[in-house]
Amino acid sequence: MLQVYLVRHGETVWNAARRIQGQSDSALTEKGEYQARQVGERVRSLGITHVISSDLGRTRRTAEIIADACGCGVTLDARLRELNMGVLEQRPIDSLSEQEEAWRRTLLDGTVDGRIPEGESLAELAARMHQALNACFDLPAGSRPLLVSHGIALGVLIGTLLGLPAHAERRLRLRNCSLSRVDHQQSAWLAQGWVVETAGDVSHLDLPALDELQR
């Protein structure tokens, strides 16, 4: 059985300011760095062999802190990046026009072809996230990898592993530095292949965590 741990990056300056990040970048806050250290302490004893991260700065920094706790290095994979949110990147959520907010809502409300202009669809996001997850099969036998990615990206990955379409209504909350796990296995009582063991666990965090779209 292959076990893969999934971590969302720590709180960023733009998370706290309610600005849309997408594939633009914002540094971790002091709290975000602390959250990453707490994840590191949580997973230190789990036998993590590889830390694989989105190449954006906020995930890379989170991954470095976790990898240091686990005694391994960090590999970057651009397929783990957040959804490209096009013309709305870097914008404060509260500044959006009615039309812009309607574009943003198509990523959350189940719209089949939802996409922000100049951005990426959820189906495109799901395809590259599954490629990154399945690349774990190329690691040496006995590996236990941990992937560091982003809120929408991980939500779409977990949702599609559960059999939902990529555009399904967004109902899984993955807070900053939440921990999830998916297993690839053969079971007499579960579907063959990837199954979701845990999702969005924040029991290791001792301060309230922000979600990027909800305080």
- Domains of the chain plus CATH, in order, are 2-201 (3.40.50.1240)
Instruction: Name the catalytic one among 9, 50, 150, 167.
Output: 9
pLDDT per residue as tens, the chain (215 positions)? 999 999 999 999 999 999 999 999 999 999 999 999 999 999 999 999 999 999 999 999 999 999 999 999 999 999 999 999 999 999 999 999 999 999 999 999 999 999 999 999 999 999 999 999 999 999 999 999 999 999 999 999 999 999 999 999 999 999 999 999 999 999 899 999 999 999 999 999 986 665 544 44
Active site annotation includes 130: no
Catalytic residue (choose from 41, 64, 82, 212): 82
- Is 82 tagged catalytic? yes
Radius of gyration of the chain (CA): 16
Q: What is the C-alpha to C-alpha distance for residues 197 and 105, in angstroms, rounded to an integer?
A: 29
Which residues lie below 8 Å from residue 104, measured CB to CB, with a gap of 6+?
20, 85, 88, 93, 96, 116
pLDDT at 206: 87
Reduced to 3 states (helix: H, G, I; strand: E, B; else coil), residue 3 is strand
* Predicted TM-score (pTM) above 0.85: yes
CB atoms under 10 Å from CB of 89, counted, come to 20
Half-sphere exposure of residue 36, counting CA atoms within 13 Å on the CB side? Answer: 27
